[in-house]
Amino acid sequence: MSRGIRIPMTGRAPDQPHRAASPLELLFDLTFVVAIASLTLELAHGIAEGHPSVAAFLLVFFTIWWAWVNFTWFASAYDTDDVPYRLLTMLQMAGVLVLAAGVPAAVEHADYRAITVGYLVMRLGLVAQWLRAGIEHPDGRATAFRYAAGISLVQVGWLLRLLLVETAVLPEGSLLPVFLVLVALELAVPRWAEANRRTDWHPHHIAERYGLFTIIILGESVLAASTGLRAAVESGDLDWRVVSVAVAALVLLFALWWLYFLEPAGEGLARRRHAAFLWGYGHFGVFAALAAVGAGLEVALEWTAHHLDVSAGAVAAAVCLPVGSFLVLLWAVHVPLLSRPVIHPGLTLGAAGVVLLLPLGAGFLGVAAVVWAAAAVSSAVVLTTVLASSRRTGPDPQVAAHS
């Protein structure tokens, strides 16, 4: 329960023992389930119809991911869990739900009105939190006010973009470049705000929050695969091939979950706080790949049951490309943190190369065999890493703790 009506926002200790995600943070994350599920469904429909809008998927996913990132890092440093904090968090949750409602229009028609409005609501809540932190925490005042100013200015840019689009002032060909410029400005705000003094975020808390978001996205992938399986059951097309793909999908998702949590990110963040930006920003690709895996698995199940009007190679690529990307990016985001990664780089990159080549054989192997092969390769990386970690006798304690 809340610790008070109002508690001065003086910052949390970055070395607080046993710091864990709060119930409010878990509730906040649940609002993103709706947005990610809607986006994954749109991507799956596009793949099934033969024209997936990957660019739209990535742009909308960035909006969802960045909104979550901003709240998460602020909460790690300044979560007071008092009444004002909870109410402003609820305001941001309302913005997420508006954003989620606008996902289909954004992907199908490039209509970003609802997403922009939902994003505005979220930013209002976040700016209010930063202003409060600046007022009540003298040591972090300059950084907090910089965050508030930077976020506000970029938000004005998003509103201007929407206005220029609605009034047809902005040429259609310039929509993507303007979007990318605003994305670059969003990513630049934290670096600028923390140029002189960094916020006191908690490394193990941040690692846990990213891990929880990983589980949420994997849960959406399970839901997407379940949707494909349910369609086969309802149409009467359920047979051993569909069941085989469903089992392979479960094995694959379980292996990807296992791989993510093999790397001790919390320990790495504690030792190398300066690498947090690379690790945190790099997770955009990690999370987007996991979400895309779910869309690919849904299509793989529907293709096996209904033989959609799309090639086996395209369906296999929809599964293998994000899996291979996940393996590469998982290695890449942990390189700045860990002097000796738990998963051997050669093993990770080799497995990624094999997975990325699998769609080339989908024509004669079949989609089910390709999904099983991707699951087998991912599982082999898990098994090899766990066995190697159990035999390792080096001085690095992080391996023993996470094997």
341 sits in the region (left: phi over 0; alpha: psi -120 to 50; else beta) called beta
pLDDT digits (tens, 9 = 90+) for 227-245: 777 877 877 777 888 889 9
Asked which of 147, 167, 193 is the last residue of a domain, the reply is 193
* pLDDT score, position 8: 86
* pLDDT score, position 2: 46
What percent of the residues of the chain are helix, what percent strand, and what percent coil, each to the nearest 5? 80, 0, 20
* Same domain membership, residue 79 and residue 27: yes
* Same domain membership, residue 227 and residue 177: no
Domain boundaries, position 373: 203-402
Query: Considering only CA atoms, which of 106, 123, 3 is closest in space to residue 56?
Result: 106
Classify residue 13: in a domain, yes or no.
Answer: no
* pLDDT score, position 18: 83
* pLDDT score, position 393: 47
* Same domain membership, residue 299 and residue 218: yes
pLDDT, one tens digit for every residue, the chain (403 residues): 445 688 888 888 888 888 889 999 999 999 999 999 999 999 999 999 888 889 999 999 999 999 999 999 999 999 998 999 999 999 999 999 999 999 999 998 888 999 999 999 999 999 999 999 999 999 999 999 999 999 999 999 999 998 988 887 877 777 789 999 999 999 999 999 998 888 999 999 999 999 999 999 999 888 878 877 787 787 777 788 888 998 999 999 999 999 999 988 999 999 999 899 999 999 999 999 999 999 999 999 888 887 678 899 999 999 999 999 999 999 999 998 887 888 899 999 999 999 999 999 998 889 999 999 999 999 999 999 999 888 764 444 443 444 4
C-alpha 269/C-alpha 391 separation (Å) is: 25
* Owner of token pair 């990213």: 210
Classify residue 311: in a domain, yes or no.
Answer: yes
* pLDDT score, position 391: 75
Classify residue 84: in a domain, yes or no.
Answer: yes
* Same domain membership, residue 282 and residue 161: no
* pLDDT score, position 220: 86
Run of H or E residues at 339 = none
* Owner of token pair 């097309």: 237
315: Cβ–Cβ under 8 A, 6 or more apart, which residues?
47, 296, 299, 300, 303, 308, 362, 367
* Same domain membership, residue 188 and residue 207: no
* Same domain membership, residue 169 and residue 83: yes
Classify residue 5: in a domain, yes or no.
Answer: no
* Same domain membership, residue 104 and residue 209: no
Contact at 8 Å (CB) between 362 and 315?
yes
Q: What angle do CA 265, 347, 351 make, to 5 degrees?
A: 105
Q: How many domains does the structure of the chain reveal?
A: 2
C-alpha 347/C-alpha 356 separation (Å) is: 14
Contact at 8 Å (CB) between 325 and 256?
no
* Same domain membership, residue 229 and residue 173: no
Asked which of 129, 164, 193 is the last residue of a domain, the reply is 193
Return the sign of the alpha-carbon dihedral for residues 349, 351, 353, 355. negative
* Same domain membership, residue 116 and residue 221: no
* Owner of token pair 């009034």: 167
Asked which of 172, 193, 214 is the last residue of a domain, the reply is 193
Classify residue 241: in a domain, yes or no.
Answer: yes
Classify residue 142: in a domain, yes or no.
Answer: yes
Query: Considering only CA atoms, which of 324, 332, 314 is closest in space to residue 293?
Result: 324
Contact at 8 Å (CB) between 224 and 40?
yes
C-alpha 279/C-alpha 296 separation (Å) is: 26
* Same domain membership, residue 189 and residue 264: no
* Same domain membership, residue 234 and residue 97: no
C-alpha 200/C-alpha 195 separation (Å) is: 14
Classify residue 292: in a domain, yes or no.
Answer: yes
Q: At 376, list the tokens.
A: 């087998």
* pLDDT score, position 399: 39
Classify residue 261: in a domain, yes or no.
Answer: yes
* Same domain membership, residue 117 and residue 220: no
* pLDDT score, position 103: 93
Contact at 8 Å (CB) between 293 and 317?
no
Contact at 8 Å (CB) between 151 and 127?
yes
Q: What angle do CA 265, 270, 275 make, to 5 degrees?
A: 75
* pLDDT score, position 57: 94
